[in-house]
Amino acid sequence: MIADYTEAPVCHVDDLADGELKEVRVGDTDVLLARADGQFYALYHKCTHYQAPLVKGVLNGHRLVCPWHNACFDIRNGHRLEAPALNGLPTYEVRIENDQVFVRLTTDKESLENPMSAPDEANSETYVIIGSGGAGAFAAEGMREGGFTGKILMLTASGEAPYDRPNCSKDYLQGKAPDEWMPLRTEEFYKDYGIEIRTGQYVTSLDPANKRISLSSGETVQYDKAIVCSGGKPNPLSSPGGDLKGVYPLRSLHDSQTLRELGKKGKRVVIVGSSFIGLEGAMSLRKLGSEVDVVGLEKVPFEKILGEKIGRVIQSWHEKEGIRFHLGRKVDRIEGTGSVRDVVLDNGEKLVADFVLLGLGVKPRTGFLKDIPIEKDGGVKTDEHLRIVEGLYAAGDIAHYPAADGPQRIEHWKVAGQQGHVAGLNMAGKEESYQAVPFFWSNQQGKRINYIGHTTQIDDIIYDGDPEKDDNFLAYYIQDGQVKAAAGLKRDQAIIAIKELMQEGRMLSVEAVRNGIDWVKELRKS
């Protein structure tokens, strides 16, 4: 514990320019020092999400962006501005004396909740959240942050309260993350803020005209406002044998637990699907000791998203760890008596399997919505405030939201969390538009690739660094003569700066990108 306070001079006023960050030491404590508009700010030095060193992030005005997963904080008060972080950063006192900057520590906390309203029994309104993923979790907190004091009810088919779903294919599946890491919040948190979570609740219909929700139990729930965060249902394998015992999805905590136990036994697994979930699952199960074969329709993993060159590089990372690929192939059938024995491909090749992991993407869960137009892909359209119709909102995997190039539907954890937060604020009476540039990350054999933006097709790719030779690179994805997206390995600050420029409508031309850019320097230009 810090007794009263600890104070120390940390730098001269001229040591930091506007937009710069510096990690300093006060007593035995590391502190992040930031300067914006001529003012100095001192904060806890690690991100509250996964403890990333924030000094390696980027400061844009008063926005401090984490280098790993792009959580965002306000340096003036430490408040969390964007997912995936839930908590904000403690801030410390700063004073200037004789051209020296002094920082005073008065707290030993490593994180702080954003200011939220307490429930008030006098408020009879009920807001309902359908789903307990990232969108639902952040929506609940957004409602309280926005000042709503009525009843909040979360209905989820899951058996758990909100948890860290991205970890299900990574450290948790590998057995490196204990169970206590997975819940996003404690039971006490939800109790303190009056957020009632009812697990095992299957919604059969939602009637927006009468503001009524029907459950499989026969119970009905009336709401004043509701948000649909129902997420996606894993796509099944349509080939014969897809319903045999031993065929598993990887979507939930329970799925991850089941696969982890199988993986520890050194079983033979065939993974159907060569995209992010499939290959993260392959990586994790291989680390557990399983023999892994990956079957994918694409000739190169991630070719449509990251391009052929990066896709081949990622494939090589996995092959070096003993993972075998069968690409440009599909499953003809799965054979076995009662349970999986072999996976037969369309070219007749037979792969011995003790179990099968499906990584075939998801379809939005929207079949229970009554009198709401459903898009071809199963999603629903919202306005810029993430409203479907009056009193009904959507966030996460199901939401088609307005963007500059037309409606977008993005299946990413950060996107879901941020949409939920914005929608929750708006349900509480705010009028905040959702305008964030999409961001996602993937861990492929211990290498974190960050991706920002969105393309529907890739016309050209510009590389800064050679993915086949260098251990760090940027790739810019061109569509219709504009840079629409970028991916990077060990280029965290550049990725952040590009995202911030995109959000501000200041993205540079294709020609400028070809000539090379110092992205952080570009961001700091007024």
Please report, for the domain that includes residue 135, its CATH number. 3.50.50.60
Q: Are residues 253 and 352 in the same domain?
A: yes
* pLDDT given for residue 5 in this prediction: 85
Establish if 171 belongs to a structural domain: yes
On whether residue 440 sits in a domain, the answer given is no
Domain ranges, residue 466: 446-524
Same domain as 500, residue 409:
no
Amino acid at position 491, single letter: R
Tell me: the pLDDT tens digits for 183-220? 999 999 999 999 999 999 999 999 999 999 999 999 99
Inter-residue contact 488 to 475 (CB < 8 Å): yes
Per-residue pLDDT, 3 = 56
Provide the β-strand partners of residue 369: 206
Residue 114 lies in a domain: no
Last residue within a domain, chosen from 319, 344, 359: 359
The reply to whether 450 and 466 lie within a common domain is: yes
Regarding whether 224 and 310 lie in a shared domain, the answer is: no
Are 130 and 171 part of one and the same domain? yes
What is the predicted pLDDT for the residue at 109? 87
Q: Is residue 209 part of a domain?
A: yes
Report residue 343's pLDDT band, with 50, 70 and 90 as the boundaries. Answer: very high
Structural domains of the chain, count: 4
Q: What is the 3-state secondary structure (H, E, C) of 320-379?
A: HCCCEEEECCCEEEEECCCECCEEEECCCCEEECCEEEECCCEEECCCCECCCCCCCCCC
Q: Do residues 221 and 369 both lie within one domain?
A: yes
pTM: 0.96
Place of tokens 């929207």: 366
Do 491 and 513 lie in one domain? The reply is: yes
- Contacts for 56 with CB less than 8 Å, ≥ 6 apart: 67, 492, 493
Domain boundary among 343, 359, 375: 359
Q: Quick check: is 110 in a domain?
A: no
CA distances 273 to 336, 387, 493, Å, are 21, 33, 31
Range 299-317 average pLDDT? 97
351 lies in the same domain as 368: no
Instruction: Identify whether 374 is part of a domain.
Output: yes
Are residues 474 and 456 part of one domain? yes
> Are 417 and 453 part of one and the same domain?
no
Task: Say whether pLDDT at 129 is over 50.
Answer: yes
Same domain, 44 and 13: yes
Q: Which amino acid is at 69?
A: H
Displacement of CA 481 from its chain's centroid (Å)? 28
Say if 217 falls within a structural domain.
yes
Average pLDDT of the segment spanning 387-392? 98
Q: What is the mean pLDDT of the chain?
A: 96
pLDDT for residue 2 is more than 60? no
**Domain boundary residue among 359, 382, 400?**
359
Is the same domain home to 291 and 343? yes
Tell me, yes or no, whether 270 lies in a domain.
yes
Q: What CA–CA distance (Å, rounded) separates 427 from 445?
A: 41
CATH of the domain at 486: 3.30.390.30
Q: State the CATH number of the domain containing residue 52.
A: 2.102.10.10
